[in-house]
């Protein structure tokens, strides 16, 4: 694990909305109680002078119904040239590294995602669904 991951990147971060997917499902009467699952996925893409992270949060019910919602935001982090060669970046599991020690980037992504989820789910005229603003830990 890289403890000082933030030190390898310039402070400027370029954020972007990657994708929103909302599927409304017809509700049937007499359906059982549903559990809302919140699933986070972090993908990392290495480029010659940067790393692109895309964080996706998916909300879906078990058993399936009501709706399924997925929101993805991304960020491009540019390497500091003087530190880039200190590590073999192509040999690292970057998604795992950023999940464990990349809060300097993932916190901002997750806050944006949570805000959009709340806004979209409140459009029904119901209270918004407020999700935690931290990346869910990986299942062991």
At 39 the pLDDT is: 94
Report pLDDT digits (tens) over 64-91: 888 899 999 999 999 999 998 888 999 9
DSSP strand E in 65-130: where?
Answer: 67-79
Q: Which of 8, 25, 4 is nearest to 84 (CA)?
A: 8
At 29 the pLDDT is: 63
Report the CATH architecture of 5-124.
Answer: Roll (3.10)
- Start-to-end CA span in the chain (Å): 17
Q: 53 — alpha (psi -120 to 50), left (phi > 0) or beta?
A: beta
Ranges of residues in the chain with a pLDDT under 50 are none
Domain parsing of the chain, residue ranges: 5-124
pTM: 0.90
């Amino acid at each position: 694990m890289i403890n000082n991951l933030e030190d390898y990147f310039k402070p400027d971060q370029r954020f972007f909305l990657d994708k929103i997917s909302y599927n409304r499902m017809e509700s049937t009467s007499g359906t059982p109680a549903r559990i809302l699952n919140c699933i986070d996925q972090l993908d990392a893409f290495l480029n010659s002078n940067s790393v692109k992270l895309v964080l996706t949060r998916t909300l879906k019910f078990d058993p399936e119904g009501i709706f399924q919602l997925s929101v993805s935001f991304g960020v491009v982090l540019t390497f500091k040239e003087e530190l880039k060669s200190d590590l073999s970046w192509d040999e690292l599991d970057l998604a795992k590294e950023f999940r464990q020690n990349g809060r300097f980037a993932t916190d901002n992504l997750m806050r944006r995602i949570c805000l959009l989820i709340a806004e979209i789910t409140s459009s029904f005229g119901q209270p918004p669904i407020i999700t935690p603003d931290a990346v869910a830990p990986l299942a062991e």
